[in-house]
Structure 1
Amino acid sequence: MRSAWPTLTQQPEQAFDDIVAVAAELCHVPIALLGFFTDESQWFKAWHGFEVTEIRVADSLCAHLVDEADELVVVRDLAADTRSQTKPWVADPPHFRFYVALPLRSGTGQVIGTLCLTDYAPRPHGLTSRQADGLRALGRQVTLQLELRRQLQEQTLLRLETQHRLKNTWAVVQGLAVQTLRTANDLNGAKQALLDRLAALGRAHDAANVDSGAEGSLRSIAEAVLAPYKSAHSSRIQIEGPDLELSTDVAQSFALALHELATNALKYGALSNSDGAVAISWSSTESAGQRRLRFTWEERNGPPPSQPQERRGFGTRMIEGIFGRGTATFDFKRSGLVFRAEAPLKQLVPLPACS
């Protein structure tokens, strides 16, 4: 089907033209066609001896004569076969009589098309074993050509996706550098802050498996980004929540948000003394047909929190920005900072837009 082989068009290609020409010569028939099925039609990629581009499935001999289980279909006289004797092109001009079809299959075994041959005269002896074997070999060449085109398409898509992700990552790095320098008090502080943020971005990159294009789970992102903090405070950081899948761009944003929260906790909050603890939790709910994320960062037993200027800097704006299409609040309780946010899962804002 065209949907199964999206790279194929009806434009002539020499490789397929050669296959049908060789098939006709091998089997001593005037007509050879290479066609593929859609739900409503059979369209032809190549033809020899009879030019046709597309026909309705209702009029297709292949659609009526080829079953999923068939390996090679040979009809010695179409006019004598009850399945075909009343079909167009048999009962009506051009009055085809002899017919051969080799089913072409997808990787799952589904019949997606045929390499078919026909003649104007019946052929009681059908095909010789040599002709049948040769036709099967040509069918394998068709399958190989299709597979090569599929691989080429996948490589092209992967190249474009890689270019897109590199541009996105570069934009994130640029944004981090600009914002870090803009809000830093001194150059050494800016250098360390930028290195820490880039390290968090790198851990998110690994956790989200960016190079494969796969999504990453919120839990894997949280575990990876908070690992350096947990190594020193393992019993004081609790992470609880289901495995929610995040797009790569949003995963990077979330990683940086967690890094900023953890850095602030280490500097000013619950991780800055020996008694404090941090609980990170999230859940998802269905509301109005949308899956919503509820996220909480809660610090306890740290020093009484204040609202230093740094908390309104780049990190805070970025944390709030990720949930820009929902709600995000910082609550500076005496027991410790509590950050709560809620937003539709598919509407979380990726970097650099949230910065």
Structure 2
Amino acid sequence: MAVGDGPDGVGANAGGDKPSRDRSSIDERYRLVAKATSDVVWDWDLVHDTIVWNEALATSYGWPPAHVGPGSAWWLGNIHPDDRGAVSAGLNALFEGHSDLWSHQYRFLKGGGGYADVLDRGYLVRDASGVPLRMVGAMLDITVRTQLEAQFRAVFEGANIGIVQFDPRSVLALRVNAKLCEIWGAPESEIVGCSLAQWTPAEDAGERDALHRRLATGETLQDSFEKRYRRRDGRLIWARVNLVSQTLGDEVHAMAMIEDITEEKRADARRDALLSLGDRLRELRSNAEVVAMTAEILGRTLATTRAGYGMVDLPAGLVTVAHSWSSDGQVFPSQTLPLDEYPASIASLRRGEVLAVADLASASDLDTDAALYIAQGVRAVISVPLLRRGRLVGVLYATEASPRAWTQNEIDFVRDVAERAWSGLTRIEADEQQRILNRELSHRMKNTLAMVQAIASQSLRNVTDIEAAKHALAARLIALGKAHDILLTGQRESAEMAAVLTSALSLHDDQQPGRFHLSGPDIVIGSKAALSLALMMHELATNAAKYGALSRPDGRVTVAWSVVAADEDDTIHLTWSERGGPLVHPPTRKGFGSRLIERGLAGAVGGEVSLAYEPEGLVCRVMAPLSGFQGNF
């Protein structure tokens, strides 16, 4: 017998010529069961192809008895055309086989129109020889369940987080969505039917196994935690997992919702790294420590192969990498490289551009630079320039041995690290300059106090006129103060010779045209020479105002200096000459002023000072080594 053989849907003589006569008690039980359920219960007499339906066919599906055909043809005719063939094939396989149980899910037409999703299950009765006689079954309306399953399927497949349904006892994946395949970087075929344990890195196996043991006991779980997975390509990622397992009857069901939080973790790590770097930089006291710490934090946070800082010397055309960090702990010696070996990279960095290359093998814009990088085992690089007043002075870099796409967040992080490192280097440089200034100030104060003591002692020795001595001492101290003002205008303890002379003579300049004439090349002199020269000029000008050219309205003073080249050390020749004053007579005795003129500067710079009392005016000549004038700066 086959479904669809006869004009009524079932071939005649399936198992005999007439139905069993002893059915009254069975039929009564059938009617009682049919009344006790809301399912459609049917009884199919396969011999005569008649089907008896209970009242639920009318109440649940809208088919009154008058519109229901007597045999299987009516039933099969109301099955959705797309499902009818499968139902017929299933029934024929049942009749021809040895099983007694049948089940099929299909769409059944309702009396008012539209189809209901049904789950139809039946039991087949055979005679002693195995010929089918009768089949009893129940049709369950699963439309709502099907709709819910469709909604769940839509949510499951379209969710923006990974979802996996699995057997909690074996931890075998039963069903996964596309997002989980994306997160793990694997096709569905490599996940479904396989143990979920394979996606946990070996170093996290202890925590994984402890969780699996709890699941295997059938324990009901509802937990949320963070864990690591190893993708198919070997890359480690972080995920936030919401795990639910529950017991339904004899079965335990489990589902995990997995959200990739790798970038979130990286963002946290970058933020913590910047905070740590800021705290640790405040404790460091040398450029080497700052560079080493910066390279380590940069490399560890980005998980790169290598990181470091290069100091750039543009005039020399060199970059020096004194300290670098390596992921394998390898220590690299200081290395100095010519900038012209990396012309494209340096040109970009000099423009203040960040160099971020995902794969140097395809970086055609870097010309020959890329080949040099690759030869050193570098496939991806990110470099941030450090500029001082528009000039490239340093490069903070990180490299990777394999291609790597740098995210904008990572580029911003390297920029932030570079800014903090530069702040640390600037602070250390400022601290060092302050220490130098403090030492200079201490040294200068000691020298000044010693000089003031000497001036005061000599000015007041054997004086007969206290007022004159007071004025002389005050004038000398003023000249000394002006020399200090000149020294303090620069960052170093030095000054221009012309500035020292102009300042020292300003006390005696009565603004008469041509009173002083200064000429000579630009020479920077040290503090010791500057102070001694200022006092010497002051004494010469004071004597000129009392006895020489500056005591007459037409008197003039010329100060000229030059540098004479020599084999071992160049020599400065300086001459003070007066004209237009009274007739000059050599002094009968020499006071402190004369001694200061003859000995003060000579002792400070290691040269010779001579005074010539020529009738037309005093001439003072100084000859000293240039190195003596420029000492102490």
CA distance in 2, matches of 1:285, 1:158: 30
User: Which residue of the partner structure matches residue 9 of structure 1?
Assistant: 288
User: Which residue of the partner structure matches residue 587 of structure 2?
Assistant: 307
Secondary structure, aligned partner of 1:234 = coil
Q: Is the CA contact 2:356–2:382 (under 8 Å) kept in the aligned structure 1?
A: yes
User: Which residue of the partner structure matches residue 408 of structure 2?
Assistant: 129
Letter paired with 1:317: R
Is 1:190 the equivalent of 2:476? no
Structure 1 residue 241: Cα displacement:
1.3
User: Which residue of the partner structure matches residue 297 of structure 1?
Assistant: 577
Q: 1:235 to 1:350 in 2, by over 3 A?
A: farther
Structure 1 residue 212: Cα displacement:
4.4
Structure 1 residues 143-192: Cα deviation after superposition (integer angstroms, max 9, x where no partner): 23222222222222222222222222222212212222335345444322
User: Which residue of the partner structure matches residue 93 of structure 1?
Assistant: none
* Counterpart among 395, 409, 413 of residue 113 in structure 1: 395
> What aligned pairs does 1:40-59 form with structure 2 within 5 A after superposition?
42-54=321-333, 56=335
Q: 1:150 to 1:229 in 2, by over 3 A?
A: closer
User: Which residue of the partner structure matches residue 159 of structure 1?
Assistant: 438
Q: Is the CA contact 1:66–1:73 (under 8 Å) kept in the aligned structure 2?
A: no
CA distance in 2, matches of 1:229, 1:55: 59
* Counterpart among 535, 544, 557 of residue 265 in structure 1: 544
Q: 1:291 to 1:45 in 2, by over 3 A?
A: farther
Structure 1 residues 108-158: Cα deviation after superposition (integer angstroms, max 9, x where no partner): 432633321324x444xx122332233333233222322222222222222
Letter paired with 2:323: F
CA distance in 1, matches of 2:403, 2:294: 29
User: Which residue of the partner structure matches residue 310 of structure 2?
Assistant: 36
TM-score, reference length from structure 1: 0.75
CA distance in 1, matches of 2:292, 2:322: 15
Identity of aligned residues (%): 23
Structure 1 residue 257: Cα displacement:
0.9
User: Which residue of the partner structure matches residue 383 of structure 2?
Assistant: 102
* Counterpart among 197, 203, 211 of residue 482 in structure 2: 203
Letter paired with 1:114: L
CA distance in 2, matches of 1:344, 1:222: 18
Is 1:72 the equivalent of 2:342? no
Bigger Cα Rg: 2
User: Which residue of the partner structure matches residue 222 of structure 1?
Assistant: 501
Is 1:177 the equivalent of 2:478? no
Letter paired with 1:34: G
Q: Is the CA contact 2:548–2:617 (under 8 Å) kept in the aligned structure 1?
A: yes
Q: Is the CA contact 1:177–1:194 (under 8 Å) kept in the aligned structure 2?
A: yes
CA distance in 1, matches of 2:496, 2:310: 40
TM-score, reference length from structure 2: 0.45
* Counterpart among 453, 478, 492 of residue 213 in structure 1: 492
Is 1:256 the equivalent of 2:530? no
How many residues align? The count is: 326
User: Which residue of the partner structure matches residue 277 of structure 1?
Assistant: 555
Q: 1:182 to 1:162 in 2, by over 3 A?
A: same
User: Which residue of the partner structure matches residue 329 of structure 1?
Assistant: 610
User: Which residue of the partner structure matches residue 148 of structure 1?
Assistant: 427
Query: RMSD over aligned Cα, in angstroms?
Result: 3.8
Secondary structure, aligned partner of 2:586 = coil
CA distance in 2, matches of 1:243, 1:57: 39
CA distance in 2, matches of 1:11, 1:238: 54
Larger RCO of the pair (alpha carbons < 8 Å, separation 6+): 1
